[in-house]
């Protein structure tokens, strides 16, 4: 864990809310002059706490109306099987999250797709091609109530 003071945490909180704001705007919000604010941002970035800056898009406005969570069980639980799976899923842009899970299945995938037809093609032609998968169970999002990227700093 990285040691951060209250000003660093406020910077992180503000940048999570709006990573595109100017250093001048940010420095006013945290009551610090521009140069120390900029130096702190660079220090936080260099520490790896801030990994990258991105634009968050509205998937529906891009025609991506279906969010699917796939619970995947693997046949093998060996390092080379995990590596093969990771390499494969990292090559598929429609898979936006991959997490190893403790419980009744091994992996949880979050997939963002256009529609059920694209989902069908995904299952039949992409994910089921991996011979190390023994089972896939899918759940479909009916309504998303909250989707946030903010990580609490307190």
Structure tokens that stand for 86 in this block: 């990771």
Phi-psi region at 66: left, alpha or beta (left = phi > 0; alpha = psi -120 to 50): beta
Q: Phi and psi (nearest 5°) for 12? A: -60, -45
Percent of the chain, pLDDT > 70? 100
Which of the four pLDDT bands, split at 50, 70 and 90, describes residue 150?
A: very high
- Give the predicted TM-score (pTM) of the model: 0.87
pLDDT digits (tens, 9 = 90+) for 34-54: 999 999 999 999 999 999 999
Strand 107-113: give its sheet, edge to edge: 95-100, 107-113, 66-74, 133-140
Percent of the chain, pLDDT > 90? 88
């Amino acid at each position: 864990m990285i040691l951060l003071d209250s000003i660093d945490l406020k910077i992180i909180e503000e940048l999570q809310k709006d990573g595109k704001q100017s250093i001048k705007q940010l420095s006013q919000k945290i009551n610090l002059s521009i140069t120390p604010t900029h130096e702190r941002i660079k220090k936080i970035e260099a520490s790896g706490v801030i990994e990258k800056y991105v634009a968050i898009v509205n998937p529906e406005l891009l025609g991506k109306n279906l969010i699917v969570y796939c619970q995947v069980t693997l046949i093998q639980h060996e390092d080379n099987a995990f590596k093969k799976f990771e390499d494969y899923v990292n090559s598929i842009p429609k898979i936006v999250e991959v997490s190893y899970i403790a419980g009744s299945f091994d992996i949880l995938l979050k997939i963002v797709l256009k529609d059920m037809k694209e989902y069908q093609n995904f299952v039949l032609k992409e994910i089921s091609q991996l011979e190390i998968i023994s089972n896939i169970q899918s759940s479909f999002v009916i309504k998303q109530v909250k989707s946030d990227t903010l990580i609490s700093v307190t």
